[in-house]
Chain A
């Protein structure tokens, strides 16, 4: 390339980078930080086993349901996304992690069943039927069978007393008569006395009929008998089992909806949300749930930046020691690399929503090595060409072509690894893969435009090229490979 060409390339390249940063400053853009750097709760859910093939459509529906539930939690800027077969929920800021888990993870399978009999603790049958009340059920109890289920712990939401010490009542129940699908709407309401909360349910037309028929039949039972009770089963637990009121006529039943009495306001509201948004199409399990405080996030960010800065500094020192002036030129390339990658992280954060995580910072730090390698390959190639007897100028030009080919081949492999990782891996590593791939692209671009121009222009400038500290003349075929010679000249002056 001619000198003019090199100057034009360099100017154009610097202008583009300058324009990018000018835009960043003008728009006041900041990098978008991930939750591990600014604090928040990240919850990852995976489909529970034994559900057969995981249907993509069902996963999408699950994400929609979870999104509705999270919105009802009132957290600012929640992010719910699918990653492979997993669902990741990100809640920035200070969030009650456990409450979020409860609301998001509830399967919310609601069933209305007849009570056949009540088995209180101490009953001879108590230990034989219904299993351990502490264990979590694997799935909703079968709808068409008679089952024995445990009652709910009194006032679970308050969480003040260790309630598990008192054994829970078990209920022997008939098959499902009205299901959660029949619920059209659910709202949390305060009881007239103002003391407790309940969730009122609106049924669909069929649901309403079924509910009326069920309550009408129950009303024929004797007042006070367990068989007059209606069990409301949520996620395999008997939430409550109210008796049908004495004033309901036999065969007449209750029409126009039902209610579930619950304890506190929050519990009522959470339950209403879960019932309204319906059951999750897939049963999910918690894969991972992590909370990071804003202070810790900040510390991690500072640590990451420190690691990056010192890493860059150490590499810069090494390059200068090894290549002297040419090494200083390489430091310029590294600095440029850092400026471009950081700029792109900010731009992508504000345009396509890329968030920088701790793993992403690690990716950038790792790619410092990739950037340095391009500089090293070029310099080693240059030395080869000089040894082969070329002039400084022609060696710079020839070695660029060969070094660029190597750079392209190597970076293709790295880039492929990053893309495959980004597409197929799950968890924090996608951030790592993203910055790694981005850095690889920047590296090749930088090499083709910036490195080539600066190296070429220095080689064409007689004063710089001949300066002993530059190191351009150190190796040559005629000097019998004695790079000390120019240096000794300096000393002897």
Chain B
């Protein structure tokens, strides 16, 4: 597109989008590609005419306004008065916000009409509201709203042909209230804890406890305690190997878990040398309905199951696909696909992509009707493909998430699958063994969902009642209860959803913050000493901070504000009152709080430098050490003074995270290197045979 000379013009309609890609797509769709782009203070704006009207489209590029403390003091608390500022004054990662605001101000001057085209959700409404209020000179009331769930030409043209008055102020007010509450919460507690730790300790490090972060860390600590205190109790699993017509198969004992060794061995002894009879053969047909359409949480869980992607990575991929107009808006809680999205059009579009064409065509043979889930979202439908083809090559992660979204969408239109289940009861005297099999006799939706469907066939030999079998062997295996699993990013997200804390837009970031702050470490999200200490300290001196109840209550109030019930000022006042009480308690115990946090910081730092047991001397620990001379980091043994010379170089870039795992080939510790692109595993042994092979 031609790049024109900068100019501000007048009498135009100014359209505010949330992201630059969205601004370009809106311009393409409304102008049919006939737009001019120009740089205003380094921000790209698009100009075109439509129906005799001049349009200028620009983007905020996320939050250009943020909440902060009006005073310049960064260590003083409590802080209960907050103001909205240009984001670059609030957040070091938002450099450039002032320039974008300046550009929007210039573009707003002389505009006769304003359209908020930011994402239609709490965050988008908040961004649009703030830009209209502060950068456009108080136009938040009179602006119009373009509502769309996909960035396809069809949806955008329709949305701009049906602009509504900005009647969704509840979302913006709730968003602003959430930002203010979370700021007040976070800044006061972080300052209180960090100052306390600094007062009694070694060096300053930010210790934060956000409003949702606190209870979430509480869940992790509770689970970690259950794991660390766990004592497994033994039980026995009994199974039998049976033979008929030269064919052997294994059946489980009817009691899944035999509580005593004597009872288990009794079964084995009773069955030895005897015959089994097929006492009953039950065949049944089970209908397995299609999976419901994806909400963002469902997509994050499924992508974790299918590809091991963290929730934040999945969301990032989904947002890229949305901005590429390939899928609908991903931050949705809905599991419903309304007919208004035009199933036939989307299926026809998806059908033009070769790998989906056969299945899409099959669905289109009848009237397409998808299964619907129970959750709804007033702003957006469930995540679905738009029917557009990728215009650029997708990277592997994007392609995976896109494939998952498309196949889930197709699966929603599929008929129920049918599985034949067979349950055979084999009697040996008074004992009974059960043989279970199952196979898919009609794949239905499973065919469309492909490898994500996850059902396996277990074929059984033909068996009739009364058939006799030789008991070849009865096995008795000692088993132990399994300790509870640690949360992973997906199951933690599920827990947050279930407990009603955080929002679909913020949960993944909160989990990432817990990792970033050093409260949890490693693949399995193991709570560090610091994580324990923060929760212990809060539980002792300010228990409401980690209370799910308080956070959930605030979420409920915010939902009411979103729905237009108002009350945001009262909610803010109540939050401040509650926080002030907790801060006073923390303050009264500052010395004790500081000591606990500082000591935990030291322990966590010391532990995070231990990579594992030294495979050379077998008594020392391999540690990450920084050379005083070269300032470079390397691995050395704690028994260096006793003569162990085990050492290894380490990458100098990125964060080294311990894994408590040993290399299968050489038994040296394995670490994770983060922050240099995709995280990667590294055996620290420079002579590892595995390394040489690669």
Q: Do A and B bind each other?
A: no
